[in-house]
């Protein structure tokens, strides 16, 4: 099996509340350490093999691939996680606006409220990203066509005498 399959099997198995809290309580602080390191040097592209990077962040390879699964959509060039092995060379070139947006989407307040964001984006920029995020959640329904309205096909007839039938 691949590292990502192993991670998904471990991370998303059914657990009782106590085991669930213990698992994620162990993982999330490790994840936060990596994000803090990324945000501390936002212009730097993190490079290395999966095993080198996992070791540098005090993780095993599978857990690091779990982190990659979470950050993958925020990378400028997404990874094919199914192909990632311990020896795979990784380039974490993070799109910071996407990352902030995705953190909002994941409702990861412990990440999008990190102090390092203050030096990366102005408060106005963060509000703008949050506004874009909020707008992406709004469902807009098309106006319903009434039976006596002109038919949208352009025939000039009323809708009830044309396409409604």
Q: Is residue 141 part of a domain?
A: no
Instruction: Measure the CA angle with vertex 22, ends 107 and 66; round to 5°.
Output: 60
Instruction: Give me the pLDDT at residue 139, please.
Output: 85
Q: Domain containing 29: what range?
A: 3-121
Q: Is residue 129 part of a domain?
A: no
Percentage with pLDDT > 70 across the chain: 100
Give the pLDDT confidence of 130-158 residue by residue, as tens digits: 999 999 988 888 888 888 999 989 899 99
How many domains does the structure of the chain reveal? 1
Q: Looking at the domain assignment, is residue 54 inside a domain?
A: yes
Does the residue 153 lie in any domain? no
Confidence at residue 86, expressed as pLDDT on a 0 to 100 scale: 94
| Residue 139 counted as domain residue | no
Tell me if 127 is assigned to some domain.
no
pLDDT (0 to 100) of residue 164 = 83
Segment 59-98, tens digit of pLDDT? 999 999 999 999 999 999 999 999 999 999 999 999 999 9
- Listed in sequence order, the residues at least 6 apart from 79 whose beta carbon sits closer than 8 Å to its beta carbon are 68, 72, 90
For residue 132, the tally of other CB atoms under 10 A from its CB is 12
Which class for 13: exposed (0-12), middle (13-18), buried (19 or more C-beta within 10 A)? exposed
């Amino acid at each position: 099996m691949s590292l990502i399959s192993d991670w998904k099997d471990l991370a998303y198995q059914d657990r009782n509340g106590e085991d669930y809290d213990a698992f994620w309580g162990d993982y999330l602080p490790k994840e936060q350490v990596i994000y803090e390191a990324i945000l501390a040097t936002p212009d730097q592209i993190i490079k290395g093999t999966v095993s080198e990077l996992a070791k540098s962040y005090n993780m095993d390879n599978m857990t690091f691939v779990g982190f990659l699964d979470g950050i993958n959509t925020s990378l400028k060039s997404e990874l094919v996680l199914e192909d990632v092995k311990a020896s795979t060379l990784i380039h974490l070139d993070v799109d910071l606006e996407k990352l902030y947006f995705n953190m909002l989407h994941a409702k990861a307040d412990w990440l999008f409220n990190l102090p390092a964001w203050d030096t990366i984006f102005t408060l106005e920029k963060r509000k703008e990203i949050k506004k874009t995020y909020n707008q992406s959640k709004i469902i807009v329904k098309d106006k319903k066509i009434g039976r006596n309205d002109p038919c949208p096909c352009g025939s000039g007839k009323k809708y009830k005498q044309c396409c409604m039938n």
